[in-house]
Structure 1
């Protein structure tokens, strides 16, 4: 009886900690969004500034919100139904993915040389992953019959969860590496850049708590289904 009570107390405490961490994460996300906006506005949302703003808001803000949409301690979505959480997730993913793809396309069409830096390489991978995640998200939401013939709903959700996390990891890595770029080191106070790096790292890890927990649950269910075959 005591063990059950202790377990319940620990679970409740961990839930409270997650709630606090998620609130802190939203503050960090807001601060980063404000910084990206102010910096891009300084250059009239032109060229690299526009690229930074579009991809930064796309991943650091909107895709992060998409990943946290089903997180039970998320103050933005915790009070709405599961169906509306899915709609919110889809809306954030579509908006964030569109911003990332448009921001990346603007950079690709410029005359600058690409793929010569780790930032560029991860950025390209993140852009392709983002496009694939949007398509996968649409398939997961609408679940057309021709897709369900090949993949059951549980497997579809598992793959969407997994590839969404991988894409977010690529995107946030590209943003982190972007702080070493000529644009940031030239126009942002070099003493402030480490603070931005730390904020990006914290947002990444605080954002994936819910999705990773969900992924592990789906993985456990997936293994159980495979063992029953």
Structure 2
């Protein structure tokens, strides 16, 4: 019985490792393709916005969210303290770039939100990211604030906000491929491909945070 359980655990770990490799390939594909397209057209206007949000959210924030994931071979040998430090740095850089990218577009549009799905999701991402970064700061200070707020509850709120921010950002990215002119020249088939890759990346990146939320909710319930 114990051997069967160990074998099933080993298979699950191998599956998670394989999915993580696939996810890293998806992240690299999206980040490199968007960066190349934006650099080729010149980093100005909509291209600068697209590059900042893609590099910030699709690459840095995705990697930050997977720092604590056991299936992530990039941080598997890190200590808890090293994972936390890496997470904080990546989250600050990614969130900062994403917020900057959204802010640049808001300034270009005179702070008026377009009726497109991409624009509305992008603005929601902008607001959620700011709140998420603030909750992350509180999570770092959770021990010193333990008398007025439970560290477990504080970190759970941060994971929920980060999870929501990332999902909304990826949905905005998905619609951005068809609503941003610089990507339309690539052809409809390739745009569909990059949309599918983005959705796969979103789902695979969310496995770690969803497991973390499950354990945190279980601890709160107990």
The question of a shared fold, defined as TM-score above 0.5 by the shorter chain, is answered with yes
Which residue of 1 is the match for residue 131 of structure 2?
132
| TM-score, with structure 2 as normaliser | 0.94
Which residue of 2 is the match for residue 19 of structure 1?
17
* Partner Cα separation in structure 1 for residue 152 and residue 86 of structure 2: 20
* Partner Cα separation in structure 2 for residue 138 and residue 38 of structure 1: 33
Q: Which moved more, 1:195-204 or 1:4-13?
A: 4-13
CA contact (8 A) 2:143 2:151 kept: no
Structure 1 consecutive aligned stretches of length 4 or more whose deviation exceeds 4 Å: none
Which residue of 2 is the match for residue 227 of structure 1?
none
* Post-superposition CA distance 1:116-165 (Å, at most 9, x none): 111111100111111111111111113374x4333211111111111111
CA contact (8 A) 2:178 2:184 kept: no
Within the candidate set 48, 51, 58, 1:50 is matched to 48
RMSD, aligned α-carbons: 1.5
Deviation, 1:177, is 1.1
CA contact (8 A) 1:178 1:184 kept: no
Which residue of 2 is the match for residue 219 of structure 1?
217
Within the candidate set 101, 104, 114, 1:103 is matched to 101
CA contact (8 A) 1:37 1:53 kept: yes
Count of aligned pairs: 221
Unaligned runs of 5+ in 2: none
CA contact (8 A) 1:40 1:50 kept: yes
Q: How does 1:45-194 map to 2 (within 5 A)?
A: 45-111=43-109, 114-143=113-142, 145=144, 147-184=145-182, 186-194=184-192
CA contact (8 A) 2:142 2:150 kept: no
| TM-score, with structure 1 as normaliser | 0.92
Q: Which moved more, 1:112-121 or 1:170-179?
A: 112-121
* Partner Cα separation in structure 2 for residue 184 and residue 214 of structure 1: 37
What SS does structure 1 have at the residue aligned with 2:126? helix
* Partner Cα separation in structure 1 for residue 202 and residue 186 of structure 2: 22
